Structure 1
Amino acid sequence: MRSSALATVFVAALGLPLAATAPASAVAPVTYTHAQAAKEFRAHGVSWTSSGHCDNRDDSRCTSFTGIRRTTVSGVIALKRTSHCAVTVTAGTEKGHSRTGKYRHDNGYKVDLHVTNCLDTYIRKHFRSAGTRGDGAKLYKSANGNVYAYEKPKKGALHWDVTYYNGSA
């Protein structure tokens, strides 16, 4: 008899359940509140800035993390860790971004990152070129499938518009 089958028979003989589910309170949420995400970023040396010096999700001048996906936060932290660069988030889930498609800012999949020589060099050297987006942004794709768009908006500052599909860089 295989060890897994033997263990199942033993557990059943003891009258114990064969499987258990964690209580809902023990399951990690898919998204963070602003305070939760800010705490994670702060703990890992990721900074953020806001032109309005605020975090209100309903104000486009703010940088909000309300509803940001855990995998997006993990991806930003992984980028900081692997690149050894300063990473500053300049936009999160606040209104004012494109509302096209599933993988967008307000759904918690995207952040904008401040452009630095260190970050530019790391992204261009370690991620493969993936063409150009419809708005002219040059695209780079990480080995894990995340997309980094070098965005030059008509108004606002040059930045990396990053879509995180998973918690890797």
Structure 2
Amino acid sequence: MQGLALLDVPGGAVTLRLAAADDLPELVAMLAADQLGVHRETAERSPAALQPYRAAFDAISADPAHLLVVAVDDLRLIGTMQLSFIPGLARQGAWRAQIEAVRVHEEARGRNIGTKMIEWAIDEAKRRGCALVQLTTDKRRTDAHRFYERLGFVASHEGMKLPLMI
């Protein structure tokens, strides 16, 4: 699997790489273990339960504008995020990077893994010529807000969503 970076963090280096299909059960488990994900993701790992995630994984993996990244420590998956590159007409045709679904396994928190993952994403966005990096975070995630602000992100816009599926 393609290694993207080696993150120097307390407790030993962590490898950042593209997610593999075999990572899917652990990725879904990490999403489901989250304070909000527990209500919208499945903790079940049967092939039928994972099918919609597999379809999404396949679509993400097939499109070079999207990277599904995992952080691995001693062959154990401990973090993930999606990084997407979006062209736009605004800002004189600027590209932007969108960070989504950032998670660090609860047993690996406090080692600066999330910080290093976001710093890598910012560097990758710069490398690809993006004018800005954006992300959304649920209003209920106050710890996440502090984390992103510490990394230089500014709450400059009010985001809105319209659920299409219940």
TM-score (norm 2): 0.30
TM-score (norm 1): 0.30
Pick the structure with greater CA Rg: 1
The structure that is strand-richer by fraction is 2
